[in-house]
Amino acid sequence: MSEEPTVHTSYRTTHLCSLTLDELKQRLVEIGEPPFRAQQIFEWLYQKGACSFDAMTNLSKALRNRLETFFQFPAIRLVGTQESGEVVKFLWELADGKRIESVLIRSFDRRTVCLSSQVGCPGRCAFCASGRAGLIRSLSCGEIVEQVLHIDRWLREKGERVCHLVYMGMGEPMENYDAVVKSIRIINDEKSLHISQRRITVSTVGIVEGIHRLAKEDFKVNLALSLHAPCQAIRQKIIPFAKKYPLEEILMAVDEYARLTKRDITYEYTLLADINDGSEHAAQLVSLLRGKQCTVNLIPYNPIENLRLQRPKQARIARFREILSEGGINATWRYTKGDDISAACGQLALPNEVHSVST
């Protein structure tokens, strides 16, 4: 009788969704299983939507028991959902009891998931709820992937699939760079969910070294810069990270990203009444971005409890956009969705209450 292979104890806490197909093959060999099982497991996870090892019925009971011993899945638990029209907010509990939120946006035939990459956020932007408690911890690659996996399963029951991803939920993706990049590789894999890189957007408040690194990856993902101000002076007042990363350096890094990846840049701009929403600010923004292949996404401020900031009047937003258009800058005006369930841009926070579960 052959001896049971010696397995490093860390394998017992390895998150299954943090492994690429090749890594899973290697891990299976190391525990004495044939590598072809990895493809079967991937198919169960990402194509058939298995919610546990027990659901992988073409694997032997003995193998399923061993997988349960050596690998962690699932590692996040759905606490509840809230729905408002085209928007569904998902509340997850992690293995350590921490909680995060992610959002599904349904628009025509597009199903977009807004992913969280951290518990809390180090950015502490003045207009965003996610950073009010600061950074608690970063998510693992597997915790990021599982958000997509479970929402895709939820959609599959309705005959739909996730087709677009935006790393714009809780957290600063570039401050959790390795886990974010690996999650993209796994999600993009044709044996996994096979979501095109061109349908994936990574947002950043302007972490220069992260932008440089991402530009050199073999990726074609979209980059969105959380700009929110037309100049360094205003930016420093509303975005603490701006003190570390001057706007000039950020724009140089973003230009390099556009040049190396051939992808247009999206500049996110949250409009705050009497702070960055004036005609003079729009004119400054035109000067800042003139000649760049980009889109400015105008986001009227979404109210957050206990913050004195205000959303500009409709006419003021319209005039701001008009000035950008007159200056040759392509600008979109984001239609607010999900603000009544605190699921709109900037409203995701560390939830203390348990949402009601929808079935």
Residue 87 one-letter amino acid = V
**pLDDT of residue 233 exceeding 60:** yes
pLDDT number for residue 127? 79
pTM over 0.75: yes
The question of whether 128 is a catalytic residue gets the answer: no
Residues 64 and 106 occupy one common structural domain: no
Considering the domain boundaries, does residue 103 fall inside one?
A: yes
CA distances for 284 relative to 127, 142, 291, 334, angstroms: 21, 42, 14, 21
- What is the spatial distance between Cα 276 and Cα 284, in angstroms, rounded to a whole number? 10
Count of domains observed in the chain: 2
Considering the domain boundaries, does residue 281 fall inside one?
A: yes
CATH number of the domain enclosing 273: 3.20.20.70
Q: Which of 300, 319, 317 is nearest to 309 (CA)?
A: 300
pLDDT number for residue 1? 38
For the ranges 130-134, 237-241, 297-301, the lowest mean pLDDT is seen at 130-134
Considering the domain boundaries, does residue 337 fall inside one?
A: yes
**pLDDT of residue 128 exceeding 90:** no
Distance of CA 110 to the CA centre of its chain: 16
Residues 54 and 162 occupy one common structural domain: no
pLDDT number for residue 336? 54
Q: How confident is the model at residue 302 (pLDDT cuts 50, 70, 90)?
A: confident
Residues 63 and 97 occupy one common structural domain: no
The question of whether 101 is a catalytic residue gets the answer: yes
Average of per-residue pLDDT across 144-148: 97
Which of the residues 17, 141, 294, 345 is marked catalytic? 345
Residues 131 and 262 occupy one common structural domain: yes
**pLDDT of residue 304 exceeding 70:** yes
pLDDT number for residue 307? 77
Residues 85 and 112 occupy one common structural domain: yes
Residues 179 and 218 occupy one common structural domain: yes
Q: Which of 23, 47, 72 is the last residue of a domain?
A: 72
Residues 288 and 180 occupy one common structural domain: yes
Q: Which of 27, 53, 72 is the last residue of a domain?
A: 72
Segments of the chain assigned E as strands: 14-15, 71-72, 76-84, 87-94, 99-107, 110-114, 118-120, 135-138, 164-167, 200-204, 222-226, 265-271, 294-300, 330-333
- What is the spatial distance between Cα 93 and Cα 101, in angstroms, rounded to a whole number? 9
Residues 31 and 87 occupy one common structural domain: no
323: its two tokens: 């000035």
**pLDDT of residue 12 exceeding 90:** no
Residues 45 and 138 occupy one common structural domain: no
Considering the domain boundaries, does residue 357 fall inside one?
A: no
- What is the spatial distance between Cα 21 and Cα 168, in angstroms, rounded to a whole number? 26
Helix (H) or strand (E) segment spanning residue 28? helix 21-30
Residue of 305 and 198 predicted with greater confidence: 198
Which of the residues 33, 101, 143, 175 is marked catalytic? 101
Residues 207 and 80 occupy one common structural domain: yes
Note down the domain range covering 48.
Answer: 9-72
pLDDT number for residue 5? 42
Residue pair 215/260 in contact (Cβ under 8 Å)? The answer is yes
Q: Which of 224, 242, 204 is nearest to 117 (CA)?
A: 204
Residues 126 and 60 occupy one common structural domain: no
Considering the domain boundaries, does residue 268 fall inside one?
A: yes
Max CA separation in the chain (angstroms): 80
42 phi/psi in degrees, rounded to 5: -60, -40
Residues 238 and 299 occupy one common structural domain: yes
- The string of pLDDT tens digits covering residues 62-93 is 999 999 999 999 999 999 999 988 899 999 99
Considering the domain boundaries, does residue 121 fall inside one?
A: yes
Considering the domain boundaries, does residue 348 fall inside one?
A: no
CATH number of the domain enclosing 36: 1.10.150.530
What does the mean pLDDT of the chain come to? 89
**pLDDT of residue 333 exceeding 90:** no
Considering the domain boundaries, does residue 4 fall inside one?
A: no
Q: Which residues pair with 212 in a beta bridge?
A: none
